[in-house]
Amino acid sequence: MKVKRPGLVTFIVDLNFLNVFLLIVSFFPKPKFTEQFGFFFNPTPSFSEGIINILMIISLLTISYGLLKLKKWGYLLMIAYNLFFLILSMLFMLKQLGQSYNMPGFITSILGLMITFPSKRYFIKEKGSS
């Protein structure tokens, strides 16, 4: 019998796919399209920013695949991804001291962890079940 994927896991994967889509859109900055949503891109992105975006796209797609297949490594990678960006945004906020420019990253990471932790039961198999 095939196990049906829970709605919570599907929601997490959908958010990852939305994030991937927005990262791909950021590669092709069209001022008219992005400005209507409040996004303003620097017309001269650096080389390292493009590499980081590509690595984020690959990592999010890998995490999403693991979550879709209900693999334990997908769950652990999702937690590691959110913890990494939580620590990164906390360090950035401490560096700024009072000027919290990266507050959305902090909030997004906290929300991601709050959504991911309750889905643990779908990835960790009990020893008694077959």
More confident residue, 36 or 76: 76
Mean pLDDT of all residues in 56-71: 92
Indicate if the alpha-carbon torsion angle 69, 72, 73, 79 is positive or negative.
Answer: positive
Q: Is residue 130 part of a domain?
A: no
Q: Is residue 129 part of a domain?
A: no
Domain that holds residue 56: 7-122
* Structure confidence by residue, pLDDT tens digits, 67-103: 999 899 999 999 999 999 899 888 888 877 666 565 7
- For the chain, the farthest-separated pair of C-alpha atoms sits apart, in whole angstroms, at 57
Whether the per-residue pLDDT at 19 is higher than 80: the answer is yes
Q: How many domains does the chain have?
A: 1
Q: Is residue 128 part of a domain?
A: no
The Cα-based distances of 84 to 15, 51, 66, 93, 116 in angstroms read 17, 18, 18, 14, 14
pLDDT score for 46: 65
Q: Is residue 103 part of a domain?
A: yes
More confident residue, 38 or 24: 24
How far apart, in whole angstroms, are the C-alpha atoms of residue 39 and residue 89? 20
Mean pLDDT of all residues in 103-129: 80
Q: Is residue 1 part of a domain?
A: no
Backbone angles phi, psi at 46, to 5 degrees: -80, 165
What count of other Cβ atoms lies within 10 Å of the Cβ of residue 104? 10
Q: Is residue 37 part of a domain?
A: yes
pLDDT score for 65: 94
Q: Is residue 15 part of a domain?
A: yes
Q: Is residue 127 part of a domain?
A: no
- Indicate the range of 51-55, 95-99, 117-121 predicted with least confidence: 95-99
